[in-house]
A and B are shown apart, each in its own frame.
Chain A
């Protein structure tokens, strides 16, 4: 990227960060649902689930609090909720003519999308921090060392990037505001069909097969191991392969769509 493009990206990112700061509800609502899930599963279903999790199916995770088991999945749900607002902002910029205005100016194409992506990352990381804060209050403790914490942050940023570029696709291709936001519902639902809430071993045949082969499980298992300070094993490479593959695909589709939409 040229210095001009960097300058333009910075100016447009500041603009869209102002949107987030001026409607703080975007950060609050992003955190509210995951926190509600956290409370519901730990305090309402937790007792019943804990018995299952601590049984032989959970393997080495015996003895840890259910909130420790649950948090990685909740963090993914937080990211999925957060990117709905990214799709919303991209859609509104297209509808409101802002993208067209930028296109008729002598600036590069890339900053228009990157500004939204960087803003999305900033907003999601803030929401994640809020959710982790609540989890700590509920008794969440991590055994991870500095390297482990960095790895956890890295994976979360990578997942946020993947879902953000998916959100850009949704924002660019949606015909209505509802459509732009609705894409995030399946993403929010996906962790339920994974090892995020209960071990996959407790699920019936087809559900178990799906849960064991979908990306959320490998991401959640890696995060859980890292947070517990345990060896991660091969699962992390599966998780990274999913993320990088999805990122390349989503980014390519988004850029092609953007070219087609605005030339």
Chain B
């Protein structure tokens, strides 16, 4: 599977460096290495979800309890989480660090992913969620650090888009 193990490790190491100790996730192709890294790390609690919106509640609880968390989800999982984000994290001013695999963009071969790609950034914008794209491995650590800094300063959700350029290595 041509998901980049090297770049997944760069993302995971940056999350750990930022003090993330709880990661919620729902499997999706681009996230396989990240989820495995979280599962194998004794310092990180991996919470495998039935649906991504649960992760909003879990991250809210973790934050109130003093633990830094991150959420791994596909953009369709983000779309499935919108009420929790709005009436949970935003209403109660709780920081969320959401790493969203940006499926359905240029280069997408799976027909079923193509609608989500077109609406992910407009929905993030409508929710006023600050977003940056992770596309250059050399800048991943810096951007994760900056995203976390803003999330905790603002007490609000922020999003990082895991892009095809970063996550996928076409054979």
Does A associate with B in a complex?
no
Q: Which residues of B contact A (CB under 8 A)?
A: none
